[in-house]
Amino acid sequence: MQLFELSMLELASKLASGEVSSVEATRACLRRVAEVDGKVKAFLHVDEKGALAAAEASDARRKGGKPAGPLDGVPVGLKDIFLTEGLPTTCGSRILEGFVAPYDGTVVRLLKEAGLPIVGKLNQDEFAMGSSTEASGFFPTRNPYDLSRTPGGSSGGSAAAVAAGEVFGALGTDTGGSIRQPAALTNLVGLKPTYGRVSRYGVIAFASSLDQVGPLCRTVADAAALLQVIARHDPLDSTSAQLPSPDYLAGLEGGVAGLTLGLPREYFVEGMDQEVERAVRAAAEELRRLGAKVVDTSLPHTRYALATYYLIAPAEASSNLARYDGIRYGLRAADAKGLRELYALTRERGFGPEVKRRIMLGTYALSAGYYEAYYLKAQKVRTLIRRDFEQAFKQVDAIISPTSPVAAFKLGEKVDDPLAMYLMDVFTLPCNLAGLPGMSLPCGFTASGLPIGLQVLGRPYDEARVLRVGRAFEREHDFAKRRPPL
């Protein structure tokens, strides 16, 4: 096994023993980027100088016997939605092309304090609006398991970079499935924590009541270790939960014996890929064999989740994206004659078609005469969806389901059909509407070698149990050890 194929914790062990240095690991990442990123197209910006400087500082700390934490020296990547001091931060949009962040977002600061070198910024759907990374304002990212297919989105660059061995782990954001869906399509573990568990300060906003930061990694243990770094109360984020974070690695090997797991009938729908359904049902049987009780459960308002999400999220996006006016930062239409034309030309040139579509949907839903009929009603249905989960969790300890209804699809296949693209998140977005923790982990491959993901959903702030269920399944298989044929 080559160095870049190690998990985060495997590398951390070698760093602790002195078998490998952080500089060696970081150079291995940079070489891998040079070798494969021309095909994968995961990176928007590589910070070689900054990453190597951080690696050298890490090696010095370890040599002095004072590592900053267990993951000190492990190189990672960042979705380009996180403000990172001194580096370009575009959120995948032309409207922020050339913008250099003046400060670090909270999770970036926490990574640096824990000693993790940041290799660079990763591609994404523009403003995190998309399910394939084809809505990036720069170029699409490709799936390392099949370069003709999407790695998912909107955190597709983060998923592709980890899957391709360009970094050992990465952070993404999940507004309606944007960590879990790309994880499923690239054979990774992707965790969306409970809303409020991880600070959003310094994260460019899409939909403020839905966005959440989380890790993309090769193993469940890696996800637990990276969550441990970033799960902190932050007074700079008014939605940050004032709760202590447990030791996520401590109970990881507890198994599923005695747990009751729910299999929601609404998550097995007509039009699902049969290979995906078979793999997920086989995973449920495996968990039953391991001692869990697997029962049918119902989340009856799931059928309204897609419509609810695509009223609430665009409405919040319409408000959040009003700040991009060509005056304070980012793109500016220098040829505009007057303020109104400056606004119009800057937004016309800077925003892509998917972002414009969602701004228009959201503005309409919030407009006079339509607010109560659309946005307010969507918020009421959101409450019903959350209550469905509350009722279900009175009977079960966690819920298991498919992550995506299909495996990775061809680039260009759905790009001209927005509704078909939106349906890719049909199993992931109810979790965001309810503010719950959710994780995707590998559970098999299609006959053509494409990864399939199993989703585990838990009670609010019960990430530890979600991780425990995922680890119990992961122990029984070698899916996480398989690598793409790059």
Q: How far from each other are the two terminal CA atoms of the chain, in whole angstroms?
A: 15
Q: Could you give the 3-state DSSP secondary structure of residue 47?
A: coil
Strands 118-122 and 43-46: antiparallel
- Is 208 one of the catalytic residues? no
* Segments in 114-271 forming alpha helices (H): 156-163, 180-185, 220-230
Distance CA 44, CA 453 (A): 26
Q: Could you give the 3-state DSSP secondary structure of residue 106?
A: helix
Neighbours of 20 (CB within 10 A): 20
CB neighbour class for 380 (10 Å; exposed up to 12, middle 13-18, buried from 19): exposed
- Which position among 21, 58, 178, 404 bears the catalytic label? 178
Cα atoms in the 13 Å half-sphere on the side-chain side of 301: 24
Residue type, 221: A
Question: How far is CA 163 from each of CA 54, 219, 279, 352, 442, rounded to the nearest angstrom?
Answer: 23, 11, 20, 27, 12
Distance CA 44, CA 456 (A): 31
Distance CA 131, CA 150 (A): 9
- Which position among 79, 112, 121, 192 bears the catalytic label? 79
Sheet with 43-46, side-by-side order of all strands: 43-46, 118-122, 76-79, 170-173, 213-217, 189-192, 438-445, 451-457, 398-402, 260-264, 293-297
- Is 199 one of the catalytic residues? no
- Which position among 58, 93, 154, 245 bears the catalytic label? 154
Query: Residue 126 phi/psi, 5° resolution?
Result: -55, 125
- Is 17 one of the catalytic residues? no
Q: What amino acid positions are annotated as catalytic residues?
A: 79, 154, 178
